[in-house]
Amino acid sequence: MAGRGGAEAGQRTGGSADAGGGAMIHYILDTSNFVVTSRLLKLIQKNTLWLLSFITQIFANKIKTYLINTHEETHSGYTVDIVQIFKMSSHGETKRFQKFASTGNRMLLWHGSRLTNWAGILSQGLRFHMFGKGVYFADMFSKSANCCYGSKASRSGVLLLCEVALGDMNEVLNGDYKANDLPKGKLRTTDDGVLVPLGKPTKHESSEMARSRYNDYIVYNTDQIKMRYALHVTFNFKS
């Protein structure tokens, strides 16, 4: 697999904001579905386990670089603007992740989902399929951004950047619904295509045999996941 240079996952952080916390929390979760909006706000405002705070411009620039460099040319139908970046912290999640904190292979990876899924994600954590039942991540921003299903009528999207403890990986080139039956010592599956974090993507020789152009990182133990940052983006569609 090809790789990308840059800081370790724990250093690839980022984000900044201009306005007060309450207004921005409402803005990042704004949706035309009032019921969904209300549930999301209630989860964040009343669940003291979650902390959302703004982060520095220096770290924001690193995230912006990660986003720009990994917006793949095949996903050229839209551009995105970063509206806000929030640092996320959950005491319970941090405690569960602790046993993987010394894992050598940790990466900061993207996860995108529809706005309507965020109530479930914030209340129950990330959940699950093609490669068995697992949680999917990508090292290409635009691959995860596509999972937000933005449109001209609904231009807002929310993505996560998660620190993921990958360890020694089980590599799979094509779909396998039993991929979650990992060989002993393997922590996750990767669908091999083009690798990244922070630098620009490079083509890997095995990508010609793969069903997908891009890397999927699938983990089957949610304790290996630590949500680090939430990004609110606006999609700008070209046609």
Torsion of CA 177, 181, 182, 184, to 10 degrees: -160
| Per-residue pLDDT at 205 | 56
| Per-residue pLDDT at 6 | 30
Domain-located, residue 49:
yes
Domain-located, residue 3:
no
Domain-located, residue 160:
yes
Query: What does the pLDDT average to over 48-53?
Result: 53
At 107, which CATH number?
A: 3.90.228.10
pLDDT tens digit sequence for 113-168: 988 887 777 767 777 654 457 888 998 899 999 999 998 998 888 899 998 888 77
Count of domains forming the chain? 1
Domain-located, residue 81:
yes
| Per-residue pLDDT at 176 | 46
| Per-residue pLDDT at 156 | 87
HEC letters along the chain: CCCCCCCCHHHCCCCCCCCCHHHHHHHHCCCCCHHHHHHHHHHHHHCCCEEEEECCHHHHHHHHHHHHHCCCHHHCCEEEEEEEEEEEEEHHHHHHHHHHCCCCCEEEEEEEECHHHHHHHHHHCCCCCCCCCCEEEECCHHHHHHCCCCCCCCCEEEEEEEEEECCCEEEECCCCCCCCCCCCCCCEEEECCCCCCCCCCCCCHHHHCCCCCCCEEEECCHHHEEEEEEEEEEEEECC
State both tokens at 62.
Answer: 């690193």
Range of the domain at 144: 10-237
Write phi, then psi, for 5 (nearest 5 degrees). Answer: -80, 170
Domain-located, residue 5:
no
pTM of the model: 0.67
pLDDT tens digit sequence for 73-94: 777 788 898 887 877 777 788 8
Domain-located, residue 151:
yes
Domain-located, residue 65:
yes
Most confident of 47-61, 97-111, 130-144, 191-205: 97-111
The pLDDT mean for the chain works out to 67
pLDDT tens digit sequence for 161-205: 998 888 776 666 554 444 444 444 433 333 332 233 555 655 655
Query: What does the pLDDT average to over 43-53?
Result: 54
Domain-located, residue 64:
yes
